[in-house]
Amino acid sequence: MVEVWYPAESVNGFKRARYRDGRQSDLKDSQLALVKTRSFAGAPIAAKQQKYPIMIFSGPLNRFQNTFETEDIASQGFIVVSIDHPYDSDLVVFPDGRRLSTGRDPDLLVFTSEEALAASRPKVELRLAIRVGDVKDVLDQLEKWNSDPNNQFYQHLDLEHIGMMGHSFGGATAAEICKIDPRVRVAINFDGTMFGTSKWAGVPKPYLVFFTSPRPTDADLQTGSQQSHLEARELKSDYADIDRTMGRYGGYFIQVPSFAHMNFTDTPLYSQLKIWTGAGKIGTLRAHEIINRVTLAFLRKDLLGDSDVSVEAAVRQYREAVLVHEPPPVQISRLAVPHVQ
């Protein structure tokens, strides 16, 4: 299942889309099926542009978990395609009524012991490979849509300007697909650990990373708890992965210590009880504003090539965000020139 947001020509006569299907809710969050979004289902695509750049989204929960962001990006002239990963996302419900429950473990890596951690790594790599396959399939379908006169997106998809963003394990997916698939030009990773080939080889394209956890200290690494020690060691490795790709290829690494992991999703909007939503100290709307403004600056500059846009300037507007890595001020292109005698 995918959900697609896009700029609309007119919304007259169309109903506002609901946030989620009631069949995906339980008693705890049944009210979410009643929430109306700022989008309208089935409205015609805007004729302002012939083609629109594309952003793919992947998250650990479901395809609508970042509606605060997908709607905002679409309103700025992008087509956003958000993916459910059957058996890895939460409950997936298809239009014909099929329901696919998650079959994944609740955690990615297991830190209870050295042996458990080692045993969990191959499982994570397999899950990543399946998610990457899902994204490749979606990219293939977009190419078909763009060449099908009967499809509403016929010739409206700018297949030369595709990026991917993701939260948590979706961020790892974004980094990996950007590394291995030439169709994806840029990647955004919202608080995700890197796995796959991108972990050790880096991301050789424009790459934006938001990260909530501070670098572990020597005291963190020497803690008496084995689980805490393993978690700190893994976090140190995560930082080394980011430093390596940023040092090799450049990119933007932004630390947001007042954020928590779930501030990159809609979840903090569900309730003001942060203990339930997992939100950090920062105000929810403030966090979403920072994410949207920095994301848009990155896409305009590094995906669309707008030299008048500065990601650094966008970050400096917010005291809660610290830019740790950024591209060098002058990018030198190395071109192979044939020898002529």
pLDDT at 237: 96
Residue 332 inside a domain? The answer is no
| CATH number of the domain encompassing residue 55 | 3.40.50.1820
Say how far apart CA 312 and CA 294 lie, in whole Å: 9
Return the H-helix or E-strand segment holding 255.
strand 252-255
Quickly state the pLDDT bin for 93 (edges 50, 70, 90): confident
The answer to whether position 123 is within a domain reads no
What is the token pair recorded at 311? Answer: 């990601």
Residue 53's SS3 state is strand
Inter-residue contact 184 to 177 (CB < 8 Å): yes
- Residue 274 lies inside a defined structural domain of this protein: yes
Sequential DSSP letters for 107-163: -SS--S-HHHHHHHHHHHHHHHHHHHHHHHHHHHHHHHHHT-TTSTTTTTEEEEEEE
Q: Domain of residue 213: give its range.
A: 2-101+129-325
Q: Which residue has the higher pLDDT, 120 or 102?
A: 120
Whether 196 is covered by a domain: the verdict is: yes
Q: How far is CA 96 from CA 1, 23, 92, 93, 204, in A?
A: 12, 12, 12, 8, 41
Residue-level pLDDT at 20: 82
Q: What is the pLDDT of residues 229-247, one digit of tens each?
A: 999 999 999 999 999 999 9
> pLDDT tier at 331 (50, 70, 90 boundaries)?
very low
What b-and-e string marks burial along 80-119, b requiring 16 or more CB atoms within 10 Å of the CB? bbbbbbbebbbbbbeeeeeebebebeeebbbbeeeeebee
CB 250 within 8 A of CB 202: no
Question: Cα–Cα distance between 250 and 67 in angstroms, integer?
Answer: 29
Q: Flag whether 340 is in a domain.
A: no
Residue 223 confidence (pLDDT) above 80: no
Q: Count of domains in the chain?
A: 1
pLDDT of 135 above 60: yes
305-327 per-position pLDDT tens digit: 999 999 999 999 999 999 998 87
Model confidence at 107: pLDDT above 90: no
CA distance 286 to 292: 10
Domain assignment of residue 164, yes or no: yes
* pLDDT surpasses 70 at 225: yes
How does DSSP classify residue 337? -
Please check whether residue 119 lies inside any domain of the structure.
Answer: no
pLDDT at 268 over 90: yes
Q: Which residue has the higher pLDDT, 335 or 21?
A: 21
Looking at the chain, the whole-number percentage of residues with pLDDT higher than 90 is 78
Q: Are the C-beta atoms of residues 39 and 71 closer than 8 Å to each other?
A: yes
Q: Is residue 330 part of a domain?
A: no
